[in-house]
Structure 1
C-alpha cells in the first residue's frame, strides 16, 4: 500500500518527481507533529486516529498530482452534424487548496471553446478542472492550466475560461472577510481577438445565473 507513486509531470508542479513520495507512515507522523505543535495531545482519544484520517483525505483531495488531463482529452467526436459554434460548460463546481496556506478555495468554473475538428465529451472538461483543482494552487495558475490543457490537446479556434471562488485564507484568517469572491479569466484565439466573443461568453454565463 505504500508503493512510491510518481506525480504526473505537468506545468506548474512544485514537486520534483525524482524525489519520490514519502510513505504513509511518514505522512501520519508529520500530522502527529502538527497536532502537538498546535497544542493538542496526539495520544488523546479524539485525535488518536486523526493522522490516518488526514493521510487518507489527502490522497483524495490532492489526487490531481497523479492524474494526467491529456488522458481525458484524447478522444473526440467528429460526427456532430457540422456544428462549429461555441461549446460552453458552465457552473462546474470545484474546490482546491491555496498553496500559500493550504486552506480551501471553493467556486465554479465556466469553460468554453470553439471546436476545430471535433468535440470532446462534456464530462471530460469537468474532469480536467478537477485534476488541476486537486493540487495546491493559486486561482490564477489553475485558470491558466485549464486553458493550456485544452489548447494543447484539442487545438480549438478559441478558449474562454472563467473561475469564481471564495478563498478561506481570506475568510478564516488574515482580514477575515466573508463573502468575498475572486474572478479570473483567460481567453485565447477568437475569444482573445474579438471582444464581442468575450461579451457573448459572459452573457451566456449571466443568463444561467438569472435562471
Structure 2
C-alpha cells in the first residue's frame, strides 16, 4: 500500500512510517521544511514538500493521487497559539479531505484527540479550548465527506514510552494515556481493517493486543 501522511515529521508520523516501511508498505510524509527530509528517509518514507497552511486542494491532490490511503497526523504542536490551532489542526485536516476527494482516495485516517468537540468549553485555557474545538470541527468536516471511508482516532494523553502493544479501543473509553508507539501501531492496523470505516474510536492503554482491539472494532471478534 502507498500511504501519504500529512504531518510526516511528527512524533506519531515518524513511528508510523517506520512500521509501514517494515511491513513492506510505501509510506510518504508531507513536510514543510526541506531539512526534515533526512529523518523521513531514515524512517523508510518518501518526503513530500508542501506547506499545508498555504496549499490549495488541487496542489495537495497531486501529491496524494494514486495513494491507497491518507493519514492526517499534523498538528500545530505545543507552544503554538490559537491561530495555528485553526490553520493546522482544523484547516489542514479539511484540506487533506478535499484533496483526497479530488484525487479519488477513499481511505482517510484522522489522528484527533479525546475531548475533541467543535463546541468544547475549557475556560481556564483558551489555547486548549481552541485546540479541542479545531480538532472537533476537523472531525466533523471529514465525517461529512460521503465519498471518504474515514476513521477518526482519538487518543488519550500521549506519552513517549516504548509502547506496550496493549490498548483499549472503542467509541467511548475512560480517560487515560497511551504511548505514541501504540498509537502508530493502531493506525497501521486500521489501514488494513475496512470494517472500522465510518467509526470514531477512542484509544488508551489497555489489556487487549492491537490485533484483538482492531478485530473487535472491525466486527471480526
Output the TM-score relative to the length of structure 2.
Answer: 0.28
Max Rg structure: 1
